Amino acid sequence: MNPADLATVWAVMKWPLAACLVFPPLLLYMGLHVIKREVIFVDLALAQVATLGTCVALLMGYHFNDQITFWISLGITFLGAALFSWSRSSRQHQVPQEAIIGITFVVAAAGVILLLSRVSGGKEELEYLLTGDILNVSADDVGHRSVLFMGLAAFYGTFHSRFAQISSSPDEAVAQGLHVRVWDFLFYAAFALVVVSFVRIAGVLLTFAYLIVPAVCAVMLAASWKSRLIVGGVISAIASFTGLYASYRLDLPTGASIVVACGLLLILTNVFVAVRGGRSA
């Protein structure tokens, strides 16, 4: 590739690349918690609830990029966060939390279809909400979300020990006097804020891929929180570079390319673990 081609690639891809390198580490951290809690589809459910909130705003006549659309979507997603924090107390209920999450996803997905059927250009809006537009992310998008994500990373880092204990041993946390429902709501509320912010530029599918696939690979390859964050960060970075490059060279949808790259890396990780004979320490 000659210097002129490299300059063209850089001009087109610099901000999408920045978004795909700066934001996924926080998504990875949340994904590790999701795996610990064994609620794999909670992120997809929250992303779908966020999409439902956006559809409500569109039906009310607001544009996708209006600030009020963000707040309506976030408010509805907070309701989902409250539901999930309440349903976590499975010791007192016969219905497992995963069932509540699955029902929430299905109902939100159906609601999105119904609402968009009443919006002009609903089919195009649905495709946009699913796949996002990461290729057209701007410097302002990256800058504003970077500040938000750094603040949320500081929040999770400050209370990591409590969140980790609740994710791993909720009964022990209760025995030690922690208000699990309160901390769960704080966890899911911050989770919702991350999801709503990232879905608006990346879509539901890419958000889910960044949340889960690097975390699953990291759990397969490493044991500690620190090593899993490092391994997962490398996995998400490789998927980002691969997907963006394939998108540019082959003229493919960018978000879908990164999702497929994540899937291929998961397959390679499975093969590596099978050949090696287990997870490394």
Query: Domains in the chain and their CATH numbers?
Result: 3-276 (1.10.3470.10)
C-alpha 74/C-alpha 244 separation (Å) is 29
> pTM value?
0.83
Query: What pLDDT is stored for residue 265 in this prediction?
Result: 95
Would you tell me the crossing angle of helices 160-168 and 180-221 to the nearest 10 degrees? Answer: 80
Find, among 130, 137, 142, 145, the residue nearest to 259 by Cα.
130
DSSP 208-260: HHHHHHHHHHHHHH--SHHHHHHHHHHHHHHHHHHHHHHHHHHT--HHHHHHH
The answer to whether 215 and 267 are in contact (CB under 8 A) is no
DSSP 169-218: -HHHHHHTT--HHHHHHHHHHHHHHHHHHHHHHHHHHHHHHHHHHHHHHH
User: What whole-number percentage of the chain has pLDDT above 70?
Assistant: 91
Residue 178 neighbours by CB under 8 Å, 6+ apart: 162, 165, 166
Tell me which of 275 and 133 has the higher pLDDT. Answer: 275
Query: What pLDDT is stored for residue 170 in this prediction?
Result: 76
Q: How confident is the model over 32-48, as pLDDT tens digits?
A: 998 888 777 787 788 88
Find, among 278, 167, 168, the residue nearest to 222 by Cα.
278
C-alpha 184/C-alpha 172 separation (Å) is 15
3-state secondary structure of 132: coil
C-alpha 216/C-alpha 210 separation (Å) is 10
Q: How confident is the model over 50-105, as pLDDT tens digits?
A: 888 888 888 888 887 788 988 998 899 888 888 887 776 544 556 677 788 888 88
C-alpha 132/C-alpha 97 separation (Å) is 29
Alpha-carbon separation of residue 31 from 12, 77, 195, 225 (angstroms):
29, 18, 12, 12
Question: Rounded mean pLDDT of 124-149?
Answer: 81
Q: How confident is the model over 245-272, as pLDDT tens digits?
A: 888 888 888 888 999 999 999 999 999 9
